[in-house]
Amino acid sequence: MPLIGGGGAGNPTGGSNPVGIGSGLNYVGEHAYAYSGLITADGNLTTLLDFTTGGQQYVEAWIQIFASTVQADDYEVNILFDGQAIMSSEYEKSYSGNFVNGVPHKVIIPAQTRVQVTVQNTQGSTQADWTATIAGRVYA
């Protein structure tokens, strides 16, 4: 199915970075993806991804979150749609849970939905590196 106006349109919602690293959603034909890049998080709420889907499309996608450094503290990871958590997990330093470390989670992202992926150290201010990715198919 074409994306917008027959496909091939530029990224109407997330910028035009050709590599695709950043907080926005990128479109290529009938596909969408987002790569946060490596982001250091601490005791402050840190946003890995933040974008809004287009007006007449939905995205069937896989979301993956990675902790790329050994954690000294516990971190809370959230996926929010329009400000409401659809997935939330506490990543404990002694636990390699299913929510992070690359285990993909399939979601349907409705049209005109703001998507945010956030992480925060819930025990202190120790820093750790995180990444988030989304890959999916766009349906009009």
CB 78 within 8 A of CB 65: no
pTM for the whole structure: 0.81
In this prediction, residues 22-40 reach a mean pLDDT of 93
CB 102 within 8 A of CB 66: yes
pLDDT-derived band of residue 120, with 50, 70 and 90 as boundaries? very high
User: Looking at the predicted structure, is the pLDDT value of residue 7 above 80?
Assistant: no
pLDDT-derived band of residue 136, with 50, 70 and 90 as boundaries? very high
Q: Give the pairing of strands 58-67 and 128-139.
A: antiparallel
Q: What is the mean pLDDT of the chain?
A: 82
> Quick one: which of 78, 31, 29, 28 has its CA closest to 50?
78
CB 79 within 8 A of CB 86: yes
In this prediction, residues 56-73 reach a mean pLDDT of 86
Choice among 3-17, 25-39, 94-108, 110-124 with the minimum mean pLDDT: 3-17
pLDDT-derived band of residue 1, with 50, 70 and 90 as boundaries? very low
For 122, left (φ over 0), alpha (ψ -120 to 50), or beta?
Answer: alpha
Pick the CATH number of 35-134 from 3.40.1350, 2.60.40, 2.60.120, 2.30.30: 2.60.120
In this prediction, residues 71-87 reach a mean pLDDT of 92
